[in-house]
Structure formats: structure tokens, C-alpha cells
Structure 1
Amino acid sequence: MEATKLKTVDDLLLASQQDERIELINGEIVKRPMARSEHAMAQAGLSGQFLPLWRKDGSGGWWIMSEISVRYSEHHCPTHDLAGWRKERFPHRPTGMMEIIPDWVCEITSPGHERKDTFTQLLRLQAYKVPYYWLISPEDKTLIAYELEREHYRVAFSVECHDVEVCSKLVIPPFAGHVLDFGYVFGE
């Protein structure tokens, strides 16, 4: 019986020349799901709300990027829906494939790929000590925000957005003082 050889970032770079939507998860090259409108609207809606943080310098400023590949190790290089780095920790505009652990990652679930976001990715980001992990489900109109406490994630915030009033003025860690409109994110 032959042992399975883990794929590397070099394998990912070679495979990505075929213009496929792929990423490297735990040593396996995985095809990313086809984009759909609910996912795209949630991603664009949330991205737009971070522009004031992106424009800020130093304390309170963030580099927020969508569809960004982060190289956590030779065998793990996912493409996050959204990821952010505090400007006080990383003052210069990032370029290329990121090799610096983000301060925040947000994944938007896709039908058929929920396990990757709700289990595999959560455990990997926890192991790599990403301070905040958000999980958004456009179909369910839910958000769960995890915060790293010691070695494990704990739920720092969760909401189900079926009431536009409730979801229009949310302040969610790690973005203290910044109001987010999840009614808008979910297309209400």
C-alpha cells in the first residue's frame, strides 16, 4: 500500500496555471465551489463596509482583502473569502501571496462545502492562532464570530438576521467601534 503524498504550495502554483478555482487544504488540492449570487452579495456587502477601516492609518486601521491566499505552511494555503491584518501590526500594504497570519478571517459557506468552513478551516485557523474567525451563512442569514482564547476558539458573537432592525447596527469583535449592517450584507 502506497502512502499518499501531501501536495505542497509548489503543486498548488503549478495546478493554478490552469485557471481553476483551487486551494491547498491539509496537503490536498481542493476545487473551490462555483461562485453564486448569495455568496458574492454577502462578500461584496461586507467588503464595502470595511472601507473606512481600510482608509485609516495605524491604530484602528486594517488591510481587508477578499479572495486572498494565505500560506500557513507548505501543505496548507487556503484562499479566504475575506481576511484582514491590523495596520499597527503590518503597516505597509501587503503584496503577493500572504505569508503572515491574519488577525481576522471570514468565510462564507457554500452548499456542499460547509464541512471545510465549519470544521476543517476552524480547526486549522485555531491551530495557527488566527485571533478571530467569522463564519457567515447567506442561506441561513447567520453569523458566528469566534475569538481565540488561549488555545481554543469561543463564540464571541452570533446572530440570526431575519429582522433587519436587529441586524442593521452590529458591533462585532474585532472591529470595536465600527458599526456593520448585516441586513445589507444579506441583501435586505
Structure 2
Amino acid sequence: MFVREENFKTFIRLYPVVSIITALHLIIFLLLNIGPQADFLYYYFAGSNYYISQGEYWRLATPIITHVSLTHMLFNTFSLVIFGPALERILGKGKFLIGYMGAGILADLATYLILPLNFAHIGASGAIFGLFGIYLYLMYARKEYLGAGNRQILLVVLIFSLITTFTTEGINIYGHLFGLIAGAALAPILMAFVRKHKYR
């Protein structure tokens, strides 16, 4: 389920939403690190609480595809490529996009409401934790989608990710936690419109 065996073309055909988001991660990362447009893009894409308070609400969404650090970008993109495809197959393209972006936006909204106006952030971590939230719902409410082995893998990854959240400097803790909560809250709504079948 989490082992990718597809070639490049097959991966894009089977998981177009994951592929597009992955491409956006890479393109925006390059644009933020190469050329004169880097400062301009960062200024308008960063999740600045102050500018959100001034009505720039797109900043609740743009941080989800924005990374400056190579390590940050690779970690989030790798997580998306590993854990996103199964959910895109289960939910379908539209509902997967709603779940992913919805969890990320709700995590950024929580960040805005809780943290001070001078706080700014970037990164897809809230949306990635949203995927874990959806999986958490599946593990306990729709067990037919996940075998015992996959549940164990997810629990280990989730526990490790939560430990890292609280032990690593510079992490937006509220973004991670509320991304997880948002994914779990959106999951039953999204799954209500999914035909009953096991992931294959």
C-alpha cells in the first residue's frame, strides 16, 4: 500500500493530484531559491498572520505548496508521495484534493487564530498531517481499507511524527496538531460519498 512500484508515467496516470502537488513543491522551491523573483514570491506566498489579518486570505493556502529549505521540501514531498497515493485511490481525485488542501487550510487558520500577528510560516506539514488524520479515521472506523500491517506502519509513523513535532525547533506545532485534527474531522464527510471497497 505504501510501497511505490509504479514507473514514472504510471504514477502520474494513477495519481494525478499527488503528481501535480509534487510538481508544485519542486517548481516553487526552485523559484524561491533561484532568480530575482525569489523574494517577491516568498513575500506573497508566506503564511503571515499579520497580512492575513489585513484580508490577504490566500495566505491560508499558499504556504501549503511553499518550501525554502531543501530538507523541508524533500521531507514533505516524500511523505506526500508515500502516503498520498493510497488515499487518492480510495477517495478519488476531487475528494482527495479537498481533504489535503482542506486540512492544510484549517491548520493554517488555527495557526492564524492562535499565534501572534508577527508569526509567519511556510510548508505542507499541516496538510501532510491531515493525511495522517484521514488514515487515523480509517484505522478505527473503516478498517476494511487497511490491513493490520498497514495500521502498524501508520501508527509508528504518526507517533514518530508527533514526537518530532514536539522535539524539533522551529516546528509549527499548532499547524501539525490541527492538520491532524482537521484530517480526522473531514474524513467521515469525505468517506460518506465513497463506495465501499478495499484499496487495491
- TM-score with structure 2 length normalisation? 0.30
Is the helix fraction higher in 1 or 2? 2
Is the strand fraction higher in 1 or 2? 1
- TM-score with structure 1 length normalisation? 0.31
